[in-house]
Amino acid sequence: MPVRHSVFNGRTMSLRQVTRDDRGIDVYLAHARYSEVQSQHARAGELQVLDVRERAEWDEGHIPGSAHAPYHDIYEIPEGIDAARPVAVVCASGQRAAVAASLLARYGAEHVIHVIAGGVGHWERAGHPVERSA
With a CB cutoff of 8 Å and minimum separation 6, the contacts of 131 are 61, 62, 63, 64
pLDDT for 61:
93
Whether residue 119 has pLDDT greater than 70: yes
The strand pair at 26-33 and 11-20 is best described as antiparallel
- What's the CATH number where 100 sits? 3.40.250.10
Judge if pTM exceeds 0.85.
no
Residue 43 scores a pLDDT above 70: no
What range defines the domain where residue 40 resides?
Answer: 28-125
Residues in the chain: 134
Helix, strand, or coil here: 25? coil
More confident residue, 46 or 114: 114
Q: Model confidence over 51-60: pLDDT tens digits?
A: 999 999 999 9
Mean pLDDT of 6-23: 48
Residue 4: inside a domain: no
Cα distances from 122 to residues 26, 34, 106, in angstroms, run 32, 8, 28
How many independent structural domains does the chain possess? 1
